[in-house]
Amino acid sequence: MFQGGGDIPLILPILGELVARRHRVRVLVGPGDRHLAVEVVPLRVPDVHPFDDATLAERGWIGSWTPQAFHTVQREARTPVWAPAWAQNVSDELHRQATDLVVADFVLLGALHAAEAARLPHVALMHTVYPWPTSGVPAYGLGYLPSTLLLGTCRDTMGRAIVERLWVRNGLPPLNRARGWSAYQRCIHLFSSTMQQCGCSCL
C-alpha cells in the first residue's frame, strides 16, 4: 500500500480484521508508511524517481494540452508510472516467502500484475468512487450528475473519452513495461487489462 488520497485509514481496518482472524499478514509499503502492527516490508524505490523518468513524461489529451477541467484526472493518470517498481518489489517478495493471496490498493497495478504473473489469487481494494470510464455514468472528477438530455449525454460521452485517453496515454506505457520484464503479453487496452488483474473482486 502507499500513502496518498486518504486510502490508508480505509485499508487499516481490513488489515486489523485479517490479523484478528489469525492470518499472517505482510505489508509492502511505500515511503512514509512504517508504523503498522504487522510485518512490514519496505518498498525499494528506483534510483530514478518514476515521475522523473523522461521516457514516461506526462502526456495530455492532445499533445501536452488537456482541458482545464481534466487536469486532476491527468495527474491521477500518471500513477501507473510506479507500476514497474511495484511489480518488481511484489514479485521479489513472492519469491522470498510463500504467499496465498495478494491484496493491493486498486491504483497499484504493478502489484496486481505481479500476483497475476505468479498465478496467485489477488484482490483490489477500491477505496473511492469508481474512477474509470463507465457507460451511462458521467466522467470521473467533474462532479456532474447523470443526464438523460441529449446535451448531457454528449457531454458525458466526450468526458469519458477524454478520461480514457488520458489514462491510456499516461498509464499504458508503464504498465506494459511492468508486464514486459515478466514476458507477459502487452496490454492493448488499459481498462480491460486492469479489470482482469483485479479478478473482478473490488471491495
**Dist CA 51 CA 86 (whole Å):** 14
Of 179, 185, 184, give the one whose Cα is nearest residue 83. 179
Q: What backbone torsions phi and psi does residue 160 show, to the nearest 5 degrees?
A: -65, -35
User: What are the grid coordinates assigned to 184, written together?
Assistant: 507477459
163-202 pLDDT, tens digit each: 999 999 999 999 988 887 665 545 555 555 454 443 332 2
Measured distance CA(66)–CA(49) in Å, rounded? 24
What is the per-residue pLDDT across 82-98, written as a single tens digit (0 to 9) for each? Answer: 999 999 999 999 999 99
What is the rounded (10 degree) CA torsion for 24, 30, 31, 37?
A: -20
Sole residue written with cell 509499503: 29
List the CATH code of the domain at 8-197: 3.40.50
122 neighbors 102 (Cβ within 8 angstroms): yes
